[in-house]
């Protein structure tokens, strides 16, 4: 059996649109890409075999304009839509509309999306099938003595949270039994003031959490597989910046347990396609992990999984959507070597991660895999996510991958913009990172160590020299324009 | 010739000994340096022992600023004299991030403002950018008016900081 799709529309932009086009080309499937008036110079605008301008305006009129996107599909004879990540990728309503229009949505069923998109509903379902959840009390009975009893049942430290809450208000960490009453009163008072509702819930407080996620892939024939884990504990402002596979925190036994839980979930919800099950791993209790949520789409950080498994996840998504059986068996998969992905952002880590804008004079070239939606001469505006690129390296072990990542970072300056490159290299060279002490509070805990170093004499002298020497006589920009394709070298299949 | 440069807002004194096309010699922090530009992103330094060091330096001079990347770090170098032209010290001055048009000015000279308060809105690359106070202070100078086209790196507003 072969893939039945003749033409795929990519309902996305930037690096992920270019990424999906690459696989379509390899599969000999024609593809359609979208762009807006403001994006005419960006490489994704002309990445497809056909491209359609969505005009300009707010996202709801362009990339989130469901009816317009479906109309384009019909006009151009598109058989399937790849939603990428973000935008409409987890929109069950869109998925239903697309299906009704006779077009295949490359992703799971709307039912799976609705179920896993609902935080409460998904946890209830997980409880039913015996998936470990963060121990907690979510009941209506708010009697203080009962709450205290529940807290000791869960085991200290616990976290008291406002049921109606968010933003840290009405939240208290309680270390021991004797502090419970006072903290409960304070949390209730704060919750009452902030939300007009003083109901609270109690959860186990995890001091040293790691973010571990399992990549899953299921076909329409009941085959549910996993593609091992990714560790994404290094985050700033709750956004991942360094991702790797494998995780140093998992031994064979724990990996087996976590991946089995992941496929138990996909079986239980009759999942189709690529997905990610996110877990919190408790750094203080060996082997304790809890279900957090499931993302029913391709993830930003999917390349590290591709690197260690040798699989093309977009290709698998397309094959599965087309009704094909998975081309491999779980037993045949091996996690080989070590891969690290760094997210290069246009932002200033030394000034509250303030997004930066400007013109990119030089992206740079590297042998590593660089998934980016920008090329030399492009301007970065504040209208989209400040992620400039994903730099993905591969080596036989973690130490080698760290070295490769540090080298590659130097090769892609995104000259003209303030980026987080140096901050990333400070993380990668931090003793605790090298030792694998990667918890979600890493950048907060080692904030002082991650401050920039003073410029040394060599750096100063080079900066002075480059300034005084000026530009070379030929126009640098025109010489350097190249397609983003050239930079996808190093992409392993 | 002595020159004051600003490297990432840090002031540096340089004594230029020789500057010809593609070659420069200068004194910095009491030490003499000699560099040659070999290619767009390649600079070499001559050492006393007749050997040469290779340095990959990404650089682009754009307007009065040189954007640089050395290893994983990024730099902006400019002549201190250029910056001082508006009469403003670096501290307490709000600079246009890029060329654009001033859309709206919400404050006037003499107004007290707190850090983060919006002073003016400019449009650049079809996007609106709000220029906010970098610290608490009193507006001492407004160098632009509504509707005006401005270059990048221009001092728009000067603040007298309250310490």
Q: Which residue of A lies nearest to B29 if distances are taken between CA atoms?
A: A457
DSSP E strands, A360-419: 369-372, 379-380, 387-395
Closest CA to A317 of A18, A104, A162: A104
Q: What is the pLDDT of residue A385?
A: 80
Same domain for A391 and A437? yes
* Tokens 């290779």 -> residue: B54
Count of C-beta atoms within a 10 Å radius of residue B50: 6
Q: What is the pLDDT of residue B90?
A: 44
B26 close to A (CB below 8 A) = yes
Q: Determine the Cα angle at A111 with ends A292 and A277, to 5°.
A: 25
Answer whether residue A362 is part of any domain: yes
Residue B7 binned pLDDT confidence (cut-offs 50, 70, 90): very high
Same domain for A350 and A240? yes
Residue B91 binned pLDDT confidence (cut-offs 50, 70, 90): low
A429 close to B (CB below 8 A) = no
The matching CATH number, chosen from 3.10.20.30, 2.40.50.100, 3.40.50.2300, 3.40.630.30, for B86-161 is 2.40.50.100
- Determine contact, residues B95/B154, Cβ cutoff 8 Å: yes
Nearest chain A Cα distance for residue B21, angstroms:
7
| pLDDT, tens only, B142-162 | 888 898 888 777 788 888 876
Q: Which domain range does residue A351 map to?
A: 209-445
CA distance A332 to A251: 19
Q: Which residue of B lies nearest to A359 if distances are taken between CA atoms?
A: B98
Q: Is the ipTM of this complex over 0.95?
A: no
CA distance A490 to A22: 13
Whether A199 sits among the annotated catalytic residues: the reply is no
Residue A325: give its domain's CATH number.
Answer: 3.30.470.20
- Determine contact, residues A87/A11, Cβ cutoff 8 Å: yes
Length of chain A: 493
**Residue after which a domain boundary falls, among A106, A122, A156:** A106
Residue of B13, B69, B125 for testing the chain A interface, max A β-carbons within 10 Å: B69
Nearest chain B Cα distance for residue A59, angstroms:
14
Q: Tell me which residues of chain A, numbers 369 to 398, contact chain B at a CB-CB cutoff of 8 Å.
A: 379, 381-383
- Determine contact, residues A278/A132, Cβ cutoff 8 Å: no
Whether residues A416 and B26 touch (CB distance < 8 A) is answered with no
Same domain for A363 and A255? yes
Same domain for A219 and A263? yes
| pLDDT, tens only, A92-137 | 999 999 999 999 999 999 999 999 988 788 988 999 999 999 999 9
Which of B39, B74, B97 is closest, CB to CB, to A357?
Answer: B97
Measured N-to-C along each axis, helices A110-117 and A92-100 cross at an angle, to the nearest 10 degrees, of 170
CA-to-CA dists, residue B124 to A40, A53, A243, angstroms: 17, 22, 34
Answer whether residue A487 is part of any domain: no
- Determine contact, residues A15/A389, Cβ cutoff 8 Å: yes
CA distance A425 to A344: 11
Mapped onto helix, strand or coil, the DSSP state of residue B5 is strand
Same domain for A184 and A65? no
Whether residues A460 and B19 touch (CB distance < 8 A) is answered with no
Residue A47: give its domain's CATH number.
Answer: 3.40.50.20
Nearest chain A Cα distance for residue B87, angstroms:
23
Which of A410, A415, A479 is closest, CB to CB, to B60?
Answer: A415
Same domain for A158 and A278? no
Please give the mean pLDDT across all residues of chain B.
84
Whether residues A425 and B129 touch (CB distance < 8 A) is answered with no
Among residues A297, A369, A398, A421, the one annotated as catalytic is: A297
CA distance A407 to B72: 9
| pLDDT < 50 stretches in chain A | 474-493
Nearest chain B Cα distance for residue A465, angstroms:
6
B106 close to A (CB below 8 A) = no
Q: Which residues of B touch A362 (CB under 8 A)?
A: 41, 58, 60, 69
Which of A379, A415, A462 is closest, CB to CB, to B67?
Answer: A415
Same domain for A199 and A222? no
Same domain for A371 and A262? yes
Q: Return phi, psi of residue A303, to 5°.
A: -60, -35
Same domain for A233 and A175? no
Q: What is the pLDDT of residue A489?
A: 40
Residue of A389, A393, A460 for testing the chain B interface, max B β-carbons within 10 Å: A460
Neighbour-count burial of B132, counting CB atoms closer than 10 A to its CB (0-12 exposed, 13-18 middle, 19+ buried)? middle
Structure tokens at A492: 């392993």
Whether residues A471 and B59 touch (CB distance < 8 A) is answered with yes
- Determine contact, residues A26/A315, Cβ cutoff 8 Å: yes
Where do the structural domains in chain B lie, given as residue ranges? 2-82, 86-161
Strands of the A200-204 sheet, one edge to the other: A136-137, A200-204, A158-162, A172-174
Which of A357, A361, A422 is closest, CB to CB, to B67?
Answer: A361
CA distance A119 to A293: 7
Q: What is the pTM (predicted TM-score) of this model?
A: 0.84
| pLDDT, tens only, B102-132 | 988 999 999 988 877 888 888 876 667 778 7
Q: Which residue of A lies nearest to B20 if distances are taken between CA atoms?
A: A469
Count of structural domains within chain A? 3
Q: Taking the mean position of all CA atoms in its chain, how far away is CA B57?
A: 18
B15 close to A (CB below 8 A) = no
Mapped onto helix, strand or coil, the DSSP state of residue A121 is helix
Answer whether residue A131 is part of any domain: no
Q: What is the DSSP letter of A378?
A: P
Count of C-beta atoms within a 10 Å radius of residue A482: 13
A96 close to B (CB below 8 A) = no
Whether residues B26 and A465 touch (CB distance < 8 A) is answered with yes
Sort strands A80-82 and A7-10 into parallel, antiparallel or unpaired: parallel
Q: Per-residue b/e over A287-314, b at no fewer than 16 CB within 10 Å?
A: ebbbbbbbbbbbbbbbbbbbbbbebbbb
Q: What is the pLDDT of residue A493?
A: 39
Q: What is the pLDDT of residue A50?
A: 97
Residue A161: give its domain's CATH number.
Answer: 3.30.1490.20
Structure tokens at B64: 């009065």
Q: Which residues of B touch A368 (CB under 8 A)?
A: none
Q: What is the pLDDT of residue A474?
A: 42
Same domain for A344 and A424? yes
- Determine contact, residues B8/A467, Cβ cutoff 8 Å: no
Same domain for A57 and A179? no
**Residue after which a domain boundary falls, among A170, A204, A238:** A204
CA distance A290 to A283: 12
Same domain for A305 and A165? no
B29 close to A (CB below 8 A) = yes
| pLDDT, tens only, B44-60 | 998 878 889 999 999 99
């Amino acid at each position: 059996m072969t893939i039945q799709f003749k033409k795929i529309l990519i309902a996305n932009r930037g690096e992920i649109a270019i990424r999906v086009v690459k696989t379509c080309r390899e599969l000999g499937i024609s593809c359609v890409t979208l762009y807006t008036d403001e994006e005419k110079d960006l490489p994704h605008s002309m990445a497809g075999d056909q491209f359609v301008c969505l005009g300009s305006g707010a996202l709801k009129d362009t990339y989130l304009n469901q009816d317009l996107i479906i109309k384009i599909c019909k006009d151009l004879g598109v058989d399937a839509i790849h939603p990428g990540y973000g935008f409409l990728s987890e929109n069950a309503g869109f998925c239903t509309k697309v299906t009704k229009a006779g077009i295949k949505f490359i992703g799971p069923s709307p039912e799976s999306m609705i179920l896993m998109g609902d935080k409460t509903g998904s946890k209830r379902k997980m409880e039913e099938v015996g998936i470990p959840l963060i121990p907690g009390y979510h009941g209506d009975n708010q009697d203080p003595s009962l709450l205290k009893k529940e807290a000791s049942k869960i085991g200290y430290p616990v976290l008291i949270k406002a049921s109606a809450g968010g933003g840290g208000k009405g939240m208290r960490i309680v270390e021991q039994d004797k502090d419970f009453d006072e903290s409960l009163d304070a949390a209730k008072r704060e919750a009452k003031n902030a939300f007009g509702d003083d109901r609270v819930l109690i959860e186990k407080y995890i001091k040293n959490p790691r973010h571990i996620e399992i990549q899953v892939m299921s076909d329409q024939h009941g085959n549910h597989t996993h593609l091992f884990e990714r560790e994404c504990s290094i985050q700033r402002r709750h956004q991942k910046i360094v991702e790797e596979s494998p995780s140093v925190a998992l031994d064979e036994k724990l990996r087996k347990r976590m991946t089995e839980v992941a496929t138990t979930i996909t079986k239980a919800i009759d999942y189709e396609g690529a997905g990610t099950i996110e877990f919190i791993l408790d750094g203080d209790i060996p082997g304790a992990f809890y279900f957090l949520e499931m993302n029913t789409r391709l993830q930003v950080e999917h390349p590290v999984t591709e690197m260690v498994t040798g699989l093309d996840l977009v290709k698998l998504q397309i094959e599965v959507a087309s009704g094909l059986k998975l081309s491999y068996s779980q037993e045949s998969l091996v996690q080989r070597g070590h891969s690290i992905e760094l997210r290069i952002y246009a932002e200033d880590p030394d000034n509250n991660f303030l997004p930066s804008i400007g013109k990119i004079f030089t992206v740079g070239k590297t042998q590593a895999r660089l998934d980016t939606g920008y090329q030399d001469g492009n301007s970065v505006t504040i209208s989209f996510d400040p992620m400039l690129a994903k730099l993905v390296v591969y080596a036989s072990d973690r130490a080698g991958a760290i070295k490769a990542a540090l080298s590659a970072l130097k090769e892609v300056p995104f000259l003209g913009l303030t980026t987080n490159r140096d901050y990333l290299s400070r993380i990668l060279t931090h003793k605790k990172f090298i030792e694998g002490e990667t918890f979600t509070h890493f950048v907060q805990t080692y904030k002082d160590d991650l401050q920039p170093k003073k410029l040394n004499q060599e750096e100063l002298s080079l900066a002075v020299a480059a300034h005084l020497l000026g530009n070379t006589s030929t126009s640098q920009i025109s010489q350097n324009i190249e397609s983003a394709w050239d930079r996808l070298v190093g992409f392993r299949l | 010739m002595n020159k004051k440069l600003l490297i990432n807002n840090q002031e540096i004194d340089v004594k230029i000994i020789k500057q010809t096309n593609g070659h420069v010699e200068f004194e910095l922090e009491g030490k003499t340096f000699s560099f040659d530009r070999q290619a767009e992103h390649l600079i070499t330094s001559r050492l006393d022992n007749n050997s040469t060091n290779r340095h990959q330096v990404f650089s682009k001079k754009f307007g009065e600023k040189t954007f640089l990347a050395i290893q994983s770090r990024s730099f902006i170098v400019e002549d201190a004299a250029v910056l001082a032209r508006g009469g403003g010290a670096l501290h307490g001055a709000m600079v246009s991030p890029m060329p654009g048009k001033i859309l709206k000015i919400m404050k006037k000279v003499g107004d007290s403002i707190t850090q983060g308060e919006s002073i003016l809105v400019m449009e650049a690359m079809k996007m609106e950018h709000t220029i906010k106070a970098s610290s608490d202070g009193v507006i001492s100078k407004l160098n632009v008016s509504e509707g005006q086209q401005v270059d990048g790196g221009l001092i728009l507003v000067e603040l007298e900081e309250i310490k």
